[in-house]
Amino acid sequence: MQKNVETKGKCRPNQTKFSFGGTSAIITILGLIIGLDGTANPKVVIISGILVIALADNISDSLGIHIFQESECVDKKEVWLSTVTNFFTRLFVSLSFVALVAFLPLNLAVPCSVIWGMGLLAAISYSIARGRGLNPYQSILEHFSIAIVVIIASEFVGKWLMKKF
């Protein structure tokens, strides 16, 4: 518990508003792109899936953050700022993936999406680690490991479902 107290002062509150939404969107959308790549009309299915996530899951997460912060007795203005910041961060990240899938051939859009997503995740991880005085490369490696597990699991599930149905 002592470590939380020590590192809490090193965190930048404005950064936290973007880090959750950005990271959530990156990991969720990479899983969706990889998992749905083998469908019958993957471009339409992937873009539709991203847009559904950009709205439904985004609103759900933003409301979750809103309610969590209210339960933590965070100032009302701060609660709304976090809610709105999370929503728009996730929306813009989601739309950046839509652009890649919409404007590139799918055989190029998928690897470019992975590179883009991992680049964004690296930037977020690096920024947070530097702000906390931690080794940024260790943080990036840790976060990449989680993203890779999601990507591999999504590909496995997508291929299994294509064979099953």
**Domain-located, residue 108:** yes
Within a domain: residue 62?
yes
What pTM was estimated for this model as a whole? 0.86
Query: Which one is predicted more confidently, 40 or 98?
Result: 98
Residue 5 covered by a domain: no
The percentage of residues in the chain with a pLDDT greater than 90, rounded to a whole number, is 74
Q: Is the pLDDT of residue 7 over 60?
A: no
Residue 8: inside a domain:
no
* Residues in CB range of 142: below 8 A, 6 or more apart: 125
Domain-embedded: residue 7: no
Does residue 121 lie within any of the structural domains?
yes
Q: For residues 45 and 99, what is the distance between their CA atoms, to the nearest angstrom?
A: 14
Say if CB 17 and CB 85 are below 8 A apart.
yes
In which domain, by residue range, is 125 found? Answer: 14-159
Give the pLDDT band (50/70/90) at residue 15. Answer: low
Which alpha helices (H) appear in 9-57, and where do they start and end?
Answer: 13-36, 42-52
Q: What is the pLDDT of residue 137?
A: 96
Judge whether residue 1 has pLDDT over 60: no
CA dihedral (121, 127, 129, 134) positive or negative: positive
The answer to whether 159 and 38 have CB atoms below 8 angstroms apart is: yes
pLDDT band at 67 (very low <50, low <70, confident <90, very high): very high
Q: Is the pLDDT of residue 84 over 90?
A: yes
Q: Give the total number of structural domains in the chain.
A: 1
Phi, psi (degrees; rounded to nearest 5) at 88: -70, -30
Residue 9 lies in a domain: no
Does a structural domain hold residue 6?
no
Q: Is residue 38 scored above 90 in pLDDT? A: no
74-84 average pLDDT score: 92
